C-alpha cells in the first residue's frame, strides 16, 4: 500500500512523510477517524514508507524488497492485531491472518462489519482478548528480521477493554526501533492510559468529491450515480462500496413515505413501517438509512440559510428538499437531526429496531406536527 493508492488526505500524507524525512517518527501513534475514512490504509502506507529501502520524496518506491513484501502484507517485521470473534480464550489474531490479508487487500477501507462478514461471525461480539495482548508482547520482544523498524498495526484498540493494560509498559517503553500504529474510530472507548501514551493523528472523513472520484475512477460507476452514492455514504468509503450493488437509491422512497406518515400523524402506517419495513433492512442498512436521513435534513437547512450552492442533491431528491424546507423551520429540523443521530447510536448497540423506530417516529410526529417553538408559532 502506497500513499498514492489512497484517495484524498493529501495534507496527512505529506505530514506523515515529513516525519520520516526529518527523523521524527513517534514510536506510538493513534490514527483517529470515522469508519471508512482510510485510517487503516494510511497506517499501512506509512509503515511501508518508514521501511522502504529507496524512499521517494513523499512516498515509498513500491519496488524494493521491503515494499514488495509490504504490498502483500507478508513482511516478517510487519505485525497486525485486530478484533476477532473468538470461540476460545486462547485464540489470537494470527489464527485469522490469511483471512485478514485477503480482506484488507480486497478492501483497505473496510469496517468492522465487513471484517465480521469475512469470518462469517454472525452476531458474535468482537474482542481483542488477553491472549492476543500477550502474543503482541511476545512478538515485539524479538529482534527485527530485516527491516529498520518492527511495526505493529493495531486496528480498533477500543476492543481491547481492560486487556490493554497489559500493553501499557510496552507502548511506553518499547524495544528500540519498534513502531506502534493504532487505528481507532471512537476515542471515547479507548483506555485513557493508552491515549496518553500515543501521538494523535486526526483523520477526517472523506469529502463528497473524494468518494465520487473513487467510485468513478476505481469502480467505473457513472458520474450521476457516483454522486448519489457519495451523498448517502457521507464520507464513508465502506458504505459507498456496499451501496454499489444497488442500482438505485434504496432509501429515498422509504424516507419520503415515512416522513409523509409522520407529518400527517398516520398512526397505522407508521406502525406498519416500524413493524415490517425497518426491521427488514437489517442493522447495517438501518444505520445507513438514518445517516442518509440526517444528511437530507442538513441539505434542507443549507437551502433555508441561503447556501444552496453547497447542496449536493439532484433531481427528485432536490425537489423534496426544497418543498419540505418550505413547510418547516430550522429548529424543527435540528431537533429531528438530534433524534436521528441518537437513534443511530442505539442501533449500533443492537437496540430492538421495532421499538426504536416507533419511538423515533412518535417523537418526530411531536416535532413536525405539534411542537411549539420560541417564536410561538405552532406548525400543524
**Predicted local distance difference test score (pLDDT) of residue 13:** 97
**Predicted local distance difference test score (pLDDT) of residue 183:** 97
Q: Which three cell numbers stand for residue 22?
A: 526529518
Tens-of-pLDDT digits for all 380 residues of the chain? 999 999 999 999 999 999 999 999 999 999 999 999 999 999 999 999 999 999 999 999 999 999 999 999 999 999 999 999 866 667 899 999 999 999 999 999 999 989 999 998 877 888 888 899 999 999 998 888 999 999 999 999 999 877 778 888 888 888 889 999 999 999 888 888 889 999 999 999 999 999 999 999 999 998 888 888 898 888 999 999 988 877 667 788 899 999 999 999 999 999 999 999 999 998 888 988 998 899 889 888 988 888 777 777 667 888 888 888 888 888 999 999 999 999 999 998 888 999 999 999 999 999 988 665 444 444 33
Question: How far from the centroid of its chain's Cα atoms is residue 49's Cα?
Answer: 24
**Predicted local distance difference test score (pLDDT) of residue 161:** 74
Q: Whole-angstrom Cα distance, residue 89 to residue 94?
A: 14
Q: Whole-angstrom Cα distance, residue 200 to residue 176?
A: 21
**Predicted local distance difference test score (pLDDT) of residue 193:** 87
Q: SS3 for 113-175, per residue?
A: HHHHHHCCCCCCCCECCHHHHHHHHHHHCCCCCCCCCEEEEEECHHHCHHHHHHHHHHHHCCC
Coil, strand or helix at 255: helix
CB-count burial class (<10 Å; 0-12, 13-18, 19+) for 127: middle
Q: Which three cell numbers stand for residue 236?
A: 464513508
363 and 356 Cβ atoms separated by less than 8 Å? no
Q: SS3 for 49-81, per residue?
A: HHHCCCCCCCCCCCCCHHHHHHHCCCCCCEEEE
211 and 230 Cβ atoms separated by less than 8 Å? yes
Amino acid at each position: 500500500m502506497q500513499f498514492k493508492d489512497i484517495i484524498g488526505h493529501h495534507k496527512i500524507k505529506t505530514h506523515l512523510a515529513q516525519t520520516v524525512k526529518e527523523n521524527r517518527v513517534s514510536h506510538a501513534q493513534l490514527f483517529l477517524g470515522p469508519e471508512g475514512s482510510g485510517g487503516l490504509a494510511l497506517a499501512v502506507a506509512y509503515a511501508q514508507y518508514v521501511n522502504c529501502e529507496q524512499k521517494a520524496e513523499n512516498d515509498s518506491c513500491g519496488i524494493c524488497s521491503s515494499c514488495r513484501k509490504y504490498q502483500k502484507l507478508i513482511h516478517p517485521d510487519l505485525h497486525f492485531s485486530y478484533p476477532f470473534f473468538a470461540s476460545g480464550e486462547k485464540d489470537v489474531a494470527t489464527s485469522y491472518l490469511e483471512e485478514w490479508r485477503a480482506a484488507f487487500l480486497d478492501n483497505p477501507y473496510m469496517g468492522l462489519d465487513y471484517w465480521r462478514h469475512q469470518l462469517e461471525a454472525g452476531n458474535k461480539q468482537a474482542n481483542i482478548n488477553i491472549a492476543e495482548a500477550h502474543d503482541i508482547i511476545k512478538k515485539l520482544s524479538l529482534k527485527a528480521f530485516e527491516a529498520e523498524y518492527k511495526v505493529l498495526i493495531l486496528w480498533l484498540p477500543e476492543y481491547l477493554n481492560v486487556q490493554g493494560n497489559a500493553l501499557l509498559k510496552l507502548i511506553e517503553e518499547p524495544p528500540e526501533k519498534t513502531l506502534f500504529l493504532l487505528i481507532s474510530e471512537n476515542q471515547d472507548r479507548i483506555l485513557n492510559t493508552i491515549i496518553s501514551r500515543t501521538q494523535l493523528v486526526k483523520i477526517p472523513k472523506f469529502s463528497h468529491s473524494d468518494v465520487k472520484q473513487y467510485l468513478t475512477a476505481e469502480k467505473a460507476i457513472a458520474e450521476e450515480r457516483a454522486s448519489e452514492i457519495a451523498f448517502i455514504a457521507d464520507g464513508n468509503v465502506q458504505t459507498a462500496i456496499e451501496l454499489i450493488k444497488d442500482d438505485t437509491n434504496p432509501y429515498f422512497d422509504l424516507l419520503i413515505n415515512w416522513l409523509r406518515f409522520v407529518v400527517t400523524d398516520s398512526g397505522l402506517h407508521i406502525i406498519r413501517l416500524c413493524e415490517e419495513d425497518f426491521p427488514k433492512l437489517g442493522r447495517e442498512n438501518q444505520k445507513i438509512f438514518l445517516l442518509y436521513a440526517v444528511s437530507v435534513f442538513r441539505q434542507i437547512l443549507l437551502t433555508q440559510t441561503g447556501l444552496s450552492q453547497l447542496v449536493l442533491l439532484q433531481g427528485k431528491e432536490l425537489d423534496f428538499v426544497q418543498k419540505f424546507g418550505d413547510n418547516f423551520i430550522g429548529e424543527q429540523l435540528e431537533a429531528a437531526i438530534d433524534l436521528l443521530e441518537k437513534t443511530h447510536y442505539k442501533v449500533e448497540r443492537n437496540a430492538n429496531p421495532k421499538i426504536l423506530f416507533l419511538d423515533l417516529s412518535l417523537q418526530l410526529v411531536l416535532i413536525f406536527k405539534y411542537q411549539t417553538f420560541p417564536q410561538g408559532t405552532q406548525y400543524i
